[in-house]
Chain A
Amino acid sequence: MGSEQSMPPKKQPQRAPPVRRGHTIATSNFPDTRRPEPSPSGNNSPGASMCSDSELPYISYTVDRPIGDSPKNSAKTQRSDSKKSLLQRRQLSLQARRNKRARDIVVVKPATDTQLDEDIRRLQEIPTFLPIMRGTLGLPGAKDPEVLEGLDPRPWVRMTTRIQAHLSACAQPLAAEEIHLANKIKEADSEITRLYSTTVEKQRCNARHAERLSRVREVSHQLSRCNSLLNQTLQDIEELNQLLPENKRLEPFVWNEQKV
């Protein structure tokens, strides 16, 4: 909250390395393995993203200068465990610390001026908000209160049923029309097959009649030839009859009128 995590200058001679945000080491036993550049600005509120994993400040203080349980001491025993258990242990240790020492708040230095400090003022200006997942607030917290609170399902239900009805109303006439068309096609096909069979029959009859008529034509040709021959024979008979004597003449040839 301040530019220095420990305010009073009287503590400075106890620490050899200079105070640096996020990298202060309480004891000088452990070497400084990482020293990136300090933030150039004097703004000490934790960065733009609250969830950045990279440089979470003040971790070292909870690890190295704990008020209650040190996660470092318990981490030494269970360092092989997963990170999740480490987080749970941290939360538990924080809670245990809070529960045990709720009365023993260690005041490093009492606040001099609560209103003038810039960080305190900024913190007070932050509006009250709740995390996204209520479950992380407190264990007996609300179990999905948003389902009970704000969301009314009735408009959703109405809209979705309407969409469903619209889809079915569009699909049913279409399907009916298509099936109707298919039936008509089947009818047309059966009709065509029937007509085709009829036409084939008619064509066969026609062929028979045409052949018979052509035969008749030939017969008539022969008949005309026969008639001409008959005429010629009659003439010849007349001639021969004239040549014969009177008593041997035949009767004049009379064509027996027969109804043909």
Chain B
Amino acid sequence: MTSASSSSARSLFAESKQRLAERVQVNMNNIASLARQIQRGSKSNELLSKAARDFAATEHLMEGSEENLKKMQLISVHMGYQYENIHKSAQMLTEINEQIAMMHR
């Protein structure tokens, strides 16, 4: 009967061990739910994720702004040229006015 005794001996503590494991599992679940309550209760996740989403939404705006700024730089260069032209033309205009006055006499 040693075989039967050893098999029954092996199962002697199985139920106790199972119950102990259940209790440990219950404790672990409680700790985990406590941690989740801490995290959810402080709403830190929601706040930070909302702020990050808003920030990411402005990226499109930033692209447009960068493009506009580059165009404005080009336009400023063009305007410099035009200013030079207008300046020279204004000077020439005064000279030519003097010439015409001379011719009239």
Listed in ascending order, the chain A residues whose CB lies under 8 Å from chain B are 23, 25, 30, 32-34, 51, 53-56, 59-60, 63-64, 71-72, 75, 83-84, 86-87, 90, 132-133, 135-136, 160, 163-168, 170-172, 174-175, 178-179, 181-182, 185-186, 188-189, 192-193, 195-196, 199-200, 202-203, 206-207, 209-210, 213-214, 216-217, 220-221, 223-224, 227-228, 230-231, 255, 257, 260
Chain A residues, CB < 8 A from B16 = 51, 133, 136
The answer to whether A189 and B1 touch across the interface, beta carbons within 8 angstroms, is no
Q: Which residue of B lies closest to A76 (CB)?
A: B4
Chain B interface residue count: which class? 35 or more
Task: Choose from A87, A171, A203 the contact partner of B79 (Cβ within 8 Å).
Answer: A203
Out of B13, B54, B86, which one reaches A178, CB within 8 Å? Answer: B54
Expressed in whole angstroms, the minimum distance between the Cβ of B7 and any Cβ of chain A is 8
CA distance A171 to B90 in the complex (A): 63
User: Known: A56-B12, A186-B61. Contact between A200 and B75, CB under 8 A?
Assistant: yes
**Chain A, interface SS category:** helix
Q: Mark B66-104, 1 if CB is under 8 A from A, else 0.
A: 001101100110110011011001101100100110011
> Is B2 a contact partner of A23 (Cβ separation < 8 A)?
yes
